Amino acid sequence: MKYVIYSIQVFLCCVLLFGCTEKNKPVINDTEVLHQNEDQLTQIIIYDVFSPPVASRIYAYTSLASYEAIRFAKPGYASIAEKLNGFGKMPQPENGKQYNYTLAASKAFCTVAYNIRIFSDTVLHRYEDSLENVFKAAIPEDIYNRSIAFGDTIGKTILMRAQKDMYKETRGMAKYLGSDADGKWQPTPPDYFDGTEPYWKMIKSFSLDTCSQFRPAPPFTFSKDTNSAFYKMVKEVYTVNKNLSDSQKTIADYWDDNPFVVQHSGHLMFANKKITPGGHWMGITTIACRQSNADEVKTAQAYCLTAISLLDAFISCWDSKFTYEYVRPITLINAWIDRDWNAYLQTPPFPEYTAGHASISGSASTVLSDLFGQNFAFHDNSDSAYIGMTRDFTSFKQAAAEASISRLYGGIHYRPSLDTGLVHGAMVGNNLLKKIGMQ
């Protein structure tokens, strides 16, 4: 909870330290408000331990609502929601009326967050109260009330679509326990959890025609023949993991982004909470916006498109995972090569092909490259508060490639799944950009 409290304090400093007007009213930094909104949500997602696919859904709806409210602050920004699947016409501000669109965006963001099934809503209410108190002191009452009402209307309009995206229906579906058939996924040690979100491909995508629109070709056919491509693929994971360099371990640790790492010590079991893979890319979006001095509307657009690319990549990737139900390396390495071997990272509880990290990184990096440039170099400190590590990248694509290969170093993915996932994710990202008319 320390990060949540810290965020509220930082937010108040951000909006108040820019000085006061002659009437002792705070001067608000619009872009910092948006950054703090996203940061607050990330901390709640970490605290509430949402799975990566579910977290991506939360980011997508909240960030879309924020953009749809704030886009009126600058000319030339069209609705994104109206070009996506199932949203329809978005509310418009009244002609001739004044609004504070940053306040409206924050209200839309929070309205969606409350109703998208976060658990720590009390924390979010405290944050929203502190935020709104700053705006009350900064703007006339009529503009404040009108902006709050507009943002709430935007949020409720976005939620109408969220209520029909199959999320609620998938909550009550049967668990996925895998299969003992050759080459098929089964729960992995040490905890043997059932499969995460086996029905995620049923979630209504924002930009894909169908969840299988970019489904890749089947992976290598199961074979125990030591000369087969399948066996060599399994053996590579073992060989790489037995000979990891310090730099490879650093890369694996840096991109682990496991929101709930279960650790064992004798008979004790405990878990560490961390940022999700999607949360890591949302943090990279923050860095890109700040580094490029993006204004508030460009910032909201970047958060919105990155979040949507993450959700759609998860939907597409999970279609592949639960269609092919591909076995994880640890299952076969323990059975065929070394029964005492354990992966460097904890193996996630869902099928292997394609790789989720590669898919979402391919998608997010494609969108961010389009928004900020193909050779956008940046210092990534988005995860430093959680794991105490930072890294430097020459481009979003380089970061995505490293995120992808980190899963081979971690011992939890085969190389072909990573290569396929990156290509597959880029297709999802490009499809989104085309859908909204940016390509």
Show the domains of the chain with their CATH numbers.
2-165 (1.10.606.20), 176-202+205-435 (1.10.606.20)
Q: Which two tokens mark 425?
A: 């994710």
- Band of the pLDDT at 439, cuts 50, 70, 90? confident
H-type alpha helices, 199-254: 229-242, 246-254
- Distances in Å between the Cα of 226 and the Cα atoms of 34, 222, 229, 231, 342 are 54, 11, 8, 5, 21
CA dihedral for 426, 257, 405, 282, sign (positive or negative)? positive
- Determine the average pLDDT of the residues in 353-382: 98
Which residues, in sequence order, are CB contacts of 96 under 8 Å at separation 6+? none
H-type alpha helices, 292-414: 296-324, 329-332, 356-372, 384-387, 396-409
Distance CA 241, CA 238 (A): 5
Residue with tokens 């109260």: 129
| pLDDT per position as a tens digit, 156-213 | 999 999 999 999 999 999 999 999 999 999 999 998 999 999 999 999 999 999 999 9
- Band of the pLDDT at 259, cuts 50, 70, 90? confident
Is the bond leading into 349 cis (omega within 30 degrees of zero)? Answer: no
Q: Which two tokens mark 130?
A: 């502190």
Helix (H, G, I), strand (E, B) or coil at 379: strand
Distance CA 189, CA 165 (A): 33
Distance CA 199, CA 329 (A): 23
| pLDDT per position as a tens digit, 109-165 | 999 999 987 777 888 999 999 999 999 999 999 999 999 999 999 999 999 999 999
pLDDT of residue 263: 59
Q: 34-70 burial, b for 16+ CB within 10 Å, e for fewer?
A: bbbbbbbbbbbbbbbebbbbbbbbbbbbbbbbbbbbb
| pLDDT per position as a tens digit, 287-327 | 999 999 999 999 999 999 999 999 999 999 999 999 999 99
Which residues, in sequence order, are CB contacts of 140 under 8 Å at separation 6+? none
Which residues, in sequence order, are CB contacts of 227 under 8 Å at separation 6+? none
Contact predicate 171/86, CB 8 Å: no
pTM: 0.94
Residue spans of beta strands (DSSP E) within 70-174 = none
Helix (H, G, I), strand (E, B) or coil at 306: helix
Helix (H, G, I), strand (E, B) or coil at 269: strand
Distance CA 310, CA 298 (A): 18
Q: Which two tokens mark 271?
A: 């878990």
